[in-house]
Amino acid sequence: MSESYTIVTGAGGSIGQAITRTLAHKGCNVIMACRNIAKDSPLCDRFNNECNGKVRIMQLDLSSLDSVARFAQDIHREDIKIDTLINNAGVMLKHYQTTQQGVEMTVGVNFVGTYLLTRLLVPTIRQGGHITFTTSLTRYIGKVDHDFFNLNTENYGRFKAYSRSKLATTLLTAHLAQELAPQGIHVNACDPGVVDTGMIHMDAWFDPLADRLFRPIISTPTQGANSSIQASASSISGHIFEQKRHYAIASKWRNHPHWQWLLNETNRIVAPWL
């Protein structure tokens, strides 16, 4: 018999663990989609011991489109039905790297790999189900234009790459919210705020200063996970969920002048795996 699951990508990360624990405590069945099974298996065992929900772990590396396709094939082969896909995994990298397809790694993991995963899993998501993407405040400084994929060793900056990946994710959320409405699938983004995880430490001289400055507004991973949990249970679509409020994605992003271009280019990159 096919069972219903919530998939959490990056479930072994700080916010991902908090999302998984909260859902499993509520009795949900959760699939932890993790890059490093050896590292995250003990967590999966612990959640199974602590919680009412059934938790399992499956391998997923979003920087490899082969791995993304394998993950989706396994879901289809086992006839697993999905209640909710929580696209939580993400990176912000200090140095320039590329994926196997030659895309800059931050954009490749946060946007391209996540896009392919979502496309491949849509047919397994039940009517009334949810897809949640993870955006960030940096979407306000992100740029989506014809240079989107043109990052290289010369012009790379971690905020430049990260912010464009998060703006693109926001545009994708708005697009899929409309596209999947007839199928009754709710699509939203969550913005966890500034959360005390490895991602906000810059390995730089100003870390202690930033720590003091931002300490009053920094949330715990459990607080940050709330935005994702709320987005994944909502009966609306096309909204951004923060910890304490939600609002419709702004029309400048719903009608972004370069969205169609970005969608076409991304479809071209992932076409061999679709």
Ligand X SMILES: NC(=O)c1ccc[n+]([C@@H]2O[C@H](COP(=O)([O-])OP(=O)(O)OC[C@H]3O[C@@H](n4cnc5c(N)ncnc54)[C@H](OP(=O)(O)O)[C@@H]3O)[C@@H](O)[C@H]2O)c1
CA distances from 38 to 43, 59, 117 (A): 10, 10, 22
By CB under 6 A, the residues from 132 to 191 that bind ligand X are 134, 136
Q: Which residues pair with 2 in a beta bridge?
A: none
Half-sphere exposure in the Cβ direction for 159 (13 Å, CA): 7
13 near ligand X (CB under 6 A): yes
Question: With respect to ligand X, which residue has the nearer C-beta, 126 or 200?
Answer: 200
- Tell me if residue 197 falls in helix, strand or coil: coil
Which of 96, 156, 162, 247 is labelled catalytic?
162
Q: For ligand X, which stretch binds (CB under 6 A), given 5-13, 146-154, 179-187, 239-247?
A: 5-13
Q: Which residues pair with 173 in a beta bridge?
A: none
Contact 173, 133 (CB under 8 A): yes
Q: Tell me whether residue 247 is one of the annotated catalytic residues.
A: no
Question: With respect to ligand X, which residue has the nearer C-beta, 134 or 230?
Answer: 134
By CB under 6 A, the residues from 21 to 40 that bind ligand X are 35-36
Q: Report CA Rg, the chain.
A: 18
Least separation in angstroms between CB 254 and ligand X: 21
H or E stretch at 247: strand 246-248
Question: With respect to ligand X, which residue has the nearer C-beta, 199 or 248?
Answer: 199
By CB under 6 A, the residues from 194 to 233 that bind ligand X are 194-195, 197-200
Binds ligand X (CB under 6 A): choice among 10, 53, 129, 238: 10
d(Cα 181, Cα 184) in Å, to the nearest integer? 5
Q: Catalytic positions, please?
A: 162
Q: Applying CB under 6 A, which residues contact ligand X? A: 9-10, 12-16, 35-36, 60-63, 88-91, 109, 134, 136, 192, 194-195, 197-200
